[in-house]
Chain A
Amino acid sequence: MKQLMLGNEAVARGLYEAGCTFVSSYPGTPSTEITEAAAKYPEIYAEWAPNEKVAMEAAFGASLAGRRSFCGMKHVGLNVAADPLFTLSYTGVNGGMVIAVADDAGMHSSQNEQDSRHYAKAAKLPMLEPSDSQEALEFTRLAYELSETFDTPVLMKMCTRISHSQSVVEPGERAEAAPRPYEKNGSKYIMMPGNAKRRHPVVEKRLAEIADWAEHASVNRIEAGTDYKMGIITSSTSYQYVKEACGGVYPVLKLGMVWPLPEEKIRRFAGMVDLLVVVEELDGFIEEHCRNLGLACAGKNFFPAMDELSQNLVAAQLTQERRAGGKLDEVIPPRPPVMCAGCPHRGLFYTLKKNKLTVLGDIGCYTLGAVAPLEAMDSTLCMGASISGLHGFNKAGGREGEGRTVAVIGDSTFMHSGVTGMINVAYNESNSTVIILDNSITGMTGHQQNPTTGFNLKGDPCAKIDLESLCRAVGINRVRVVDPYDLAECDAAVKEELAAEEPSVIISRRPCALLKYVRHPGPIAANPDKCVGCKSCMKIGCPAISISEGKAVIDNTLCTGCGVCGQLCKFDALSGKKEA
C-alpha cells in the first residue's frame, strides 16, 4: 500500500527490504531518522555509536562477518569517519555495506555546507543520489546489490530536502540476505603497505567497471524534451526543481549515480543539444567532470555554489520567469531559535557571561548560548573542538588566559570526541577548566540516547558511562558536579575551578527540560506590585519572560518554573507560583 514517507524513513525501509541486519550510526541533522526508523524493524539490530568513525568501523565489522550492514551520518560526520572510509575502499566488503551521508545545503542545522560528492571521488567509491523517497528506497536496495557485485562499500547521498520531505512510497517485501561465510583473507583485509599496494589496482579496476555499469544503468536516464536548444544534466532535489520550472520542454539527463559518472552517456547527451547546462546544488562537481571531458557547458556561472537551489531560482535562469507575492513595507523582526524556557544550559551560560569569561564552545543546543542576550561563546568549530581548542589556547596564551577561559561541551559531544581532547589536557598538563553540560540526552537532533544516558537506541536499559569516573580515570583530579538551576553554586564552582592551578572539570547536570520524564514545578507568577521594571530578569534570554508596560510578565504556556529568573530579581517579584 502506498504510504507517505520521509526520505530517511524510505532509506530505512530499503535497509529492511534489502535484508540488512546491522545498523550503527551517530545522530546528525538531517540524517538522524534513517537510524531511528531502522530501529523500529525487529529484524535489524540498530545502535547509536559514540561517533561516526566508530559507527563506520562497526558496520565494516558486520560486513566482514558476512552481514549486510549500514551506517548513516550527516556531511560533517563523514569527515569524522573519513579515515575508515578511504581504506574501506581498498578492503572492499564481505556482506554488502552501505553508507548514507546527508548534506545540509542552506545550513538549516549545520556549521558548514560541504558537498559530500567529493568524498566519493576522493575515496574512489560509487555514490547513489536519490531524488525522492521512492528512489531512496529503491536505491538503497540497489546499493546492496552493487556493493556485493563490485566488492565495495556504496555511498548514498541524501540532502535536507530529500531526507526531510515526505513523498509517496510503495513498499516491497523483505528479502533475507543469506549471511556470507567469513574467510580469513589477509591480503584483502589487512591493509599494510605490501597488501595495500596490491589492492590499489583492484580499486582502480573496480571504479572503471562501475563506470561501465553506470553507462547502461537505468538510474542514469535521459528524459526526452521538445526543445533541444538546451539540455540539462542534474540529480537529486535539483532534478525536481528543473522539472518544476521547465516541465518536459528541455531534455534532461537525470543522474542517479553521481560517482563514477557515465562518460559516454554524458557525451551522447551533450551531442543531442545545443547548450549543455548542469544544474546541481553546492559545488560544480558534475560540471567540472563535463569540462574535463572537453565539453562546453554552463553551470556555476548561472547558479550559486552556496545555499539551496529552488524552482524559482532555476526558472529565473532557464526560463526567465520570475514570481513573487506581495511584500509588506515593514521590518519583520527575525525569529531565531532560542534556548527553550527551563533549559538547564541557561543558568550556566548566565554565570559565564557574568564572569566575563572567554568560552570555547561546541556543537549542540548549547551553541545557542552564543546569541543575545547571553552571548557567552567565543568559538564553535566542530564536534569536540572546545576542549582541544581550550588546551591550545591556554598552552599558547599562558597565565593571562587560563584564569578566565573555559570550554563548554555537551554530554553526547563529549562522548563523541571530547574525551580525546580531555586526555590531551591531562596528558600535556594544561591548566584548563572544562564544563560538561550534561542534560542526559542528545538534544539538538531530537533526543537520542548516548553512552551517558543508560539507555540504548531501542530504549532498553544498558551500561551507563559515569562522566565523573571517566574524567578522573584520564587524569583529572578536580571533578565536581553543579546544578545549573542554582546560580550561586555555578558561580562559586566556576570561580574556584578557574583559580585552581591544575586541570578541572565541572559537570553541569540537569536533564533537558523537554524530556517527557522531567517534572516541572509549573509556571511562576510575576508580582506587578513588587516588580520595579529593572529588567534584571531579561539578562537570561528566557522566551517566557517579557516586559509589558514596564513590568515583567510570564508566559504561562512556556514557563516551567525553573526558578533561574527569580534568583536574579532583587525585589522578590518572581518567586510566586501561578494560582492553579
Chain B
Amino acid sequence: MAAKNIMIVGVGGQGTLLASKLLGRLLLGKGFDVKVSEVHGMSQRGGSVVTYVRWGEKVYSPIIDKGQADAILSFELLEAARWTEYLKPGGRLITNTQQINPMPVITGAAAYPENLEEKLRGLGIDLDAVDALSLAEEAGSSKAVNIVLLGRLSKWFDFTEAEWLEAIEQSVPPKFLEMNKKAFALGRAC
C-alpha cells in the first residue's frame, strides 16, 4: 500500500502534538511503518503549527508535501484554510470552527477572512466542520479541544473504540481521564 498521510494543524499551545503522538502509537501497534514529524521551538509560541503523520508498509519522507494529505485535521478555521494546498484531490478536511485571531488580525494589519467554511466547500473539499470548543466545554474543559477532534478523526480509522480509549489513557494525566473520555465520545458521536 502507498503511505497514508494525515496533517494535524493548529495554533501553538492547542495540543496538536498530543494528538499526533497518540495516533502514531496506535498505528505502530498495528504493525505499520510510521513517521511523525513535528517542529518545536519558536513556532510553538502561538504561531501556526503543523504535524505530519505518515504510515504504510514503508515510509520514506518524514514530511507531507502539497497535494499529498489524505486528510487534514485542523484545530482552527484559518489554519484549515492555510493548508488546503496540501490536500490530495478528494482528500478530507476535518476542522474545528473555532476562530483564533492571529496577531496581524488583532492589531488590525490584516482581516480574518469571512465565510471560510463556505469557501472551502467551494473548492470541492470534503469538509467536516465541528464546533470542538463547545463540545470540549460540554465535556468539562476548553483544553479538551484536541481530544474532541481526535474523536472526530477516529471515525476515519478502523481502530476500535477500546483501542482509542486505551491510547488516550496512556497519554493524559489520570485526573483528567474521565473528562477526556467524555470529550472523545462527544467528538466521535457527532
Contacts and interface: CB of A to CB of B under 8 A. Distances in A.
Interface in A325-346: 325-328, 330-340
B66 interface: yes
A310 interface: yes
Contact of B125 (A4, A326, A538): A326
Contact of A244 (B13, B60, B116): B60
A26 to B, nearest CB: 15
B11 interface: yes
Nearest to A163: B40
Interface in A302-353: 310-313, 323-328, 330-340
A338 B45 contact: yes
A326 B66 CA distance: 9
Contacts of A311: 60-61, 63, 65, 68
A112 interface: no
Contacts of B125: 326
Q: Which residue among A29, A30, A324 has the maximum number of chain B CB atoms within 10 Å of its CB? A: A324
B65 A310 contact: yes
A323 B103 contact: no
B61 A310 contact: yes
B35 A333 contact: no
A167 B106 contact: no
Interface in A147-202: 160-162, 164-168
Contacts of B66: 312, 323-325
Contacts of B143: 557
Nearest to A372: B107
B113 interface: yes
A250 to B, nearest CB: 14
A355 B88 CA distance: 51
Interface stretch (A46-54, A278-286, A540-548): A540-548
A333 B112 contact: yes
Contacts of B124: 326
A224 interface: no
Contacts of B82: 332, 335
A549 to B, nearest CB: 14
A323 B124 CA distance: 17
A330 B111 CA distance: 11
Interface stretch (A93-101, A204-212, A235-243, A565-573): A235-243
B163 interface: no
B151 interface: no
Interface string B132-159: 0000000000110000000000000000
A108 interface: yes
B1 to A, nearest CB: 14
A164 to B, nearest CB: 5
B60 A109 contact: no
A445 interface: yes
A323 B68 CA distance: 8
A165 B101 contact: no
Contacts of B41: 29-30, 108-109, 444-446
B81 A237 contact: no
A162 B33 CA distance: 16
A4 B25 contact: yes
B108 to A, nearest CB: 8
B55 to A, nearest CB: 10
A333 B174 CA distance: 38
Nearest to B72: A325
A444 B47 CA distance: 13
A324 B143 CA distance: 33
B103 A168 contact: no
Interface string A472-488: 00000000000000000
Interface string B97-113: 00001111111111111
Interface string A339-383: 110000000000000000000000001001001110000000000
A2 interface: yes
B6 interface: no
A161 B84 contact: no
Contacts of B113: 328, 330-333
Contacts of A326: 84-85, 87, 89, 123-125
Contact of A328 (B38, B68, B119): B119
A182 B102 CA distance: 58
25 contacts: A4-B34, A32-B40, A33-B40, A108-B42, A167-B62, A168-B33, A237-B62, A243-B60, A323-B66, A323-B68, A325-B87, A325-B91, A326-B84, A326-B89, A328-B113, A332-B82, A333-B102, A336-B47, A336-B103, A340-B13, A446-B41, A538-B106, A541-B103, A543-B103, A546-B105
6 tightest CB-CB pairs across the interface, nearest first? A109-B41, A323-B67, A29-B41, A337-B47, A165-B62, A333-B110
Interface of B: 11-13, 21, 24-25, 28, 33-48, 59-63, 65-69, 78-79, 81-82, 84-89, 91, 101-113, 116, 119-120, 123-125, 142-143
Given A323-B65, A326-B123, 19 more contacts: A4-B34, A108-B39, A165-B38, A166-B21, A168-B28, A311-B63, A312-B66, A312-B67, A326-B84, A333-B78, A333-B102, A334-B102, A335-B79, A337-B47, A338-B103, A339-B45, A446-B44, A538-B106, A541-B107
